[in-house]
Chain A
C-alpha cells in the first residue's frame, strides 16, 4: 500500500513558501527573525548589534525553511527547527549552536519545559519528541543528542506545542481540529501516556495555542486559534469550551476584509503577555492585529480593539510580545516567493502600550511605533529585515502566498466523488484479495 500523499504534505510544492517568524527574548535582550532557512538575531544590549551565529556542525545553519523558533523561559537557550529536520539549540549568551538534534521528519513546532530541562518538538507525522538538556552546557562544545518519542497524534500534522504555565501539562494542537492536553511526566523520556483532556470544538485546523495567566489565575487558561476563524477559550483540566470568539464577525472585519471569498480567514497567530489578559490575534488578510481581552473570572473573550497598521501593507505572519517593555513585536514576511525579484522578505513592526498599568481595555491606547522609535532603530531593521526595500505589491503577494501555503497544508481536501473514484482507481494498492 502506498501512503496517501496528503498525510505528510511532503509532496506539496507550494508549502515551500514559509512565513517569517519572530521571537523576543523574555527580558528583551535580543530579537530573532526567520525568513526561510535564514535565522537573523539582533542583540539589544547597549545600543544594539547584529549577532553572528556560530555553528560548528555543518555548513549553513539550516538548510531549509525554519518553521518554529522559541526562547526558553529563562532566556538562556533558543531553539530553531523546521523543514531540514534539524532542531538546533543555541546559547543566547554566545549564540553558539550547542546542540543539533536530528528528526526523522520535518519539524512543525517546538516547546521548552518551564524548568528549561527538556526540549519538545513535533513532526509532520504527529509525533512529539523529547530531548533532555541535562548535560548540555551552554559553554561546552557541541553535543549530539537523540530525541525519543513522547506522544503522538495519529498521522496528523501538529501545528502548535505549548506548556501550561505551571508546567504540569503539554498541549498539542493538530490539523484534525484537535487539541490534546497531556500530563507532562516526571520522566518524559519514558513517554507521556496520561491524557488529561481533549479540547474539541474547532471546526477547522487548529493553528495556534497560547496561555493567558495572571497572578490571580496562575494555572492559566488556554486559548486557541483556528482555520474556522474563531479564537476559543478552554478549561484544560476538563477540556471544556468556555467561550468562542468569532473574531472577524465581532471585530466588524468581514466587509472590508472579504474580497468575495467564501471561506473565512484563518487565525494565524496568537500572542499573550504574561500577567496580562490581552491577546494579540493575527488573521489572514488583516492589515494589523485584533486585540482580544479575556475576562478570567467570567471566562469570556471579547474584542478590545482592532489595531490597523496604516500607510503600508502589513499583514503579520507572526507576533510575539515582549512584556518587559510593554511591546508587541510583529513580523510580516515570507520566503521562496515565486515570480518576484526578492523571493524573501520581512518587515518588522512594533506596537507599544502593553504595560500592566493600563490593563483596562477601554483605556488601552496602543501605538504603532515608527521605524526610528523602535529599540535598536534602523540597525535592528537592517539586520532583521535585510537591507532591501520592498515594494508594496510584493507584500500583498507574500500575504497571499502564506495563505495559500497554509490552506494547502492544513485544510482538508474536498474531493468530488468522481475525483475520489479516480484517485482510488489510480492507486497502486489495488491487488487485494476479495
Chain B
C-alpha cells in the first residue's frame, strides 16, 4: 500500500508531497457505490502493507497479535495521525478517507516522513474507504480504543442528515468497534452539527460523557482543535469549536 517510489508530486526542497497536486472535490457522496477494494473481514486487512516495519512480510518475528487501536474517520490530510504517531509510538493507527486523491496525499506524506525520520511514523497508515459502510470490515468487536471524528462534513439540509458521520445508527457500529472504556472524540466549528453530535452521543445507551477533569487529563483533547488542517484553518480564522468526547460503556441490562 505504502510503497516507496519517486513521485513528481513531491516537493524537492522538503521531500514532502505538495498538497496542490492532491486537490479533490470538496465533498464526496458517502452513499454512492464504491470502486475501491474492501477487505472481506478484519482478518483480511493486510497489516504488512500498512505497517511494513512492524509486520515484516514472511517473518516469524512479527508481533502478529498487534492490532489497529486508533481510527481517524475522515482523516482528511492526516494532521492528527502525524501528531498522534509520536505521542503513542507503540499504537497502530489508521486514517479512513473517502476521497482517493486525499488518501494518496496522506500516503505520500507518511512515506516521506518515514524516510526523513528513520524508525518513526511506522505506526500510522491510511486507507481509502467509506467509513459509513465498511467499519466492520476493518475492525473486530471491541478492537479500537479511540475513534476520531474531527471537523466532519456538516450536511446542513435536513434531508441530508442521514449522511452525517455521527448518527444514532452509526454509533451502534462505533460502539461495536470500540472496546468498553474506549473513547470517541468529536469536534466541529459548525454549532448545529456540534449540537447534533452531542445529542446523538448523549442519548445513546452505550456512551457517556467524559467529565471536565477527565478531559483536562487527556493529552489527546488539545490536539482535536490544533492538529488537523481543518482545525488549523478554523483557528486561523478565529472560529469557535464545539467538542463532544464520550466513553464507550457497557449497555444497561
Contact = CB atoms under 8 A, between A and B. Distances in A.
Nearest to A434: B23
B27 interface: yes
B23 to A, nearest CB: 6
Nearest to B23: A434
A4 B32 contact: yes
Interface stretch (A61-69, A83-91, A190-198): A190-198
A404 B131 CA distance: 30
A433 interface: yes
Nearest to B155: A1
Given A4-B29, A4-B31, A155-B133, A197 B169 contact: no
Interface string A163-190: 0000000000000111010100000001
B41 A197 contact: no
Interface in B35-54: 35, 40-42
B33 A7 contact: yes
B172 A415 contact: no
A27 to B, nearest CB: 36
A176 B134 CA distance: 9
Nearest to A413: B33
Given A429-B29, A432-B26, A195 B172 contact: yes
B32 A152 contact: no
B40 A200 contact: yes
Which of B25, B136, B175 counts the most chain A CB atoms within 10 A? Answer: B136
A200 B29 CA distance: 25
B31 A7 contact: yes
Place the interface of chain A in its size category: 35 or more
Interface string A108-127: 00000000000000000101
6 contacts: A125-B162, A151-B172, A154-B132, A155-B30, A180-B136, A420-B35
B206 interface: yes
Given A193-B206, A200-B41, A6 B170 contact: no
Contacts of B170: 154
Interface string A190-229: 1111110110110100000000000000000000000000
Contacts of B176: 195, 198
A16 B215 CA distance: 54
Contact of B206 (A154, A194, A415): A194
B208 interface: no
Given A191-B168, A201-B41, 20 more contacts: A4-B31, A7-B31, A151-B169, A152-B169, A176-B134, A178-B136, A180-B136, A190-B205, A193-B171, A193-B204, A193-B206, A193-B251, A195-B175, A200-B42, A239-B141, A415-B35, A429-B27, A430-B25, A432-B27, A434-B26
Contacts of B205: 190, 193
B7 interface: no
Interface of A: 1, 3-4, 6-7, 125, 127, 149, 151-152, 154-156, 176-178, 180, 182, 190-195, 197-198, 200-201, 203, 239, 412-413, 415, 420, 429-430, 432-434
Interface of B: 23, 25-27, 29-35, 40-42, 132-134, 136-137, 141, 160, 162, 168-173, 175-176, 204-206, 251
Contacts of A177: 40
A34 B40 CA distance: 35
A3 B176 CA distance: 28
Which of A3, A149, A182, A192 counts the most chain B CB atoms within 10 A? Answer: A3
Contacts of A200: 40-42, 136-137
A239 B41 CA distance: 11
Given A193-B204, A200-B41, A156 B32 contact: no
Contacts of A154: 132-133, 169-170
Contacts of A127: 169
Contacts of B41: 198, 200-201
A193 B31 contact: no
Contacts of B175: 193-195
B29 A155 contact: no
A310 B176 CA distance: 49
A201 B40 contact: yes
Contacts of B32: 4, 6-7
A178 B26 CA distance: 30
Contacts of A176: 133-134
B204 A155 contact: no
A149 B31 contact: no
Nearest to B170: A154
Contacts of B160: 1
A193 B136 contact: no
A193 B172 contact: yes
A127 B136 CA distance: 17
Contact of A149 (B25, B169, B204): B169
